[in-house]
Structure 1
Amino acid sequence: MRLDGKVCIITGAGSGIGRAAAELFAKEGAIVIACDVNETSYENPNIHFYKLDVTDRNRIAEVVKDVVEKFGKIDVLVNNAGITRDALIQNMTEEDWDKVINVNLKGVFNMTQAVVPYMLEAGKGSIINTSSVVGVYGNIGQTNYAATKAGVIGMTKTWAKEFARKGAQIRVNAVAPGFIKTPMTEKVPEKILTMMAEKAALKRLGEPIEVAYVYLFLASDESSYITGQVIGVDGGLIL
Structure 2
Amino acid sequence: MKLLNKIVVITGAARGLGLETARKLKQQGATVIGIDRLEPHTALNFDAYYLLDLCDRERLDEAAASILERFGDIDILVNNAGVLTLERGETGVNDDVRRALEINLLAPWQLTSRFLPALLRTQGKVVNVSSLFALVNAPYVAAYATSKRAMSAYSDVLRMQYPGQLDVVTVFPGFIDTAIHDPAERVGLSVKRLVSFKRGERVLLSLEEKLDDASNGLVRACTQRGLRNRGLTFLGSVAMYTARWLPSVVDAFISLRLRRLSNAGQLSLKPELID
Among 178, 187, 192, the residue aligned to 1:182: 178
Partner of 1:66: 66
Tell me what 2:213 maps to. Answer: 210
Displacement of 1:60 in angstroms is 2.0
Distance 2:131 2:41 in 1: 27
Mapping 1:6-155, distance limit 5 Å: 6-40=6-40, 43-91=43-91, 94-122=94-122, 124-155=123-154
Partner SS, residue 32 of structure 1? strand
CA contact (8 A) 1:23 1:47 kept: no
Residue 140 (structure 1) shift: 1.0
Q: How has the CA–CA distance of structure 1 residues 201 and 172 changed in structure 2, closer, same or farther, with 3 Å as cutoff?
A: farther
Amino acid of the residue matched to residue 45 of structure 1? N
Whether the 8 Å CA contact 1:4–1:30 is kept in 2: the answer is: yes
Identical residues among aligned pairs (%): 26
CA 1:33–1:202 in 2, change beyond 3 Å: closer, same or farther? farther
Alpha-carbon shift at residue 209 of structure 1 (Å): 2.6
Aligned pair count reads 231
Greater C-alpha radius of gyration? 2
Q: Which runs of 5+ in 1 are unaligned?
A: none
Aligned equivalents of 1:42, 1:68: Cα separation in 2: 26
Distance of 1:41 and 1:188 partners within structure 2: 22
Write out per-residue CA displacement over residues 11-48 of structure 1, whole angstroms, 9 at most, x where no aligned residue: 00000111111111111111100110112375443442
Partner Cα distance (1:163, 1:51) in 2 = 31
d(CA) in 2 for partners of 1:47, 1:204: 34
2:229 paired with 1:233: no
One-letter identity of the residue aligned with 1:133: L
Conserved? CA contact 1:105–1:149, under 8 Å:
yes
**How well do the aligned residues superpose, as a CA RMSD in angstroms?**
2.4
- Which stretch shows the higher mean deviation, 124-133 or 44-53? 44-53
> Could you tell me how far apart the structure 2 residues matched to 1:204 and 1:151 are?
24
Query: Which of 168, 171, 178 pairs up with 2:167?
Result: 171
Long gaps (5+) in structure 2: 243-275
Q: Is the 8 A contact 2:32 2:48 kept in 1?
A: yes
Q: Distance in 1 between matches of 2:100 and 2:131?
A: 14
Q: State the Cα distance separating 1:210 from its structure 2 match.
A: 1.9
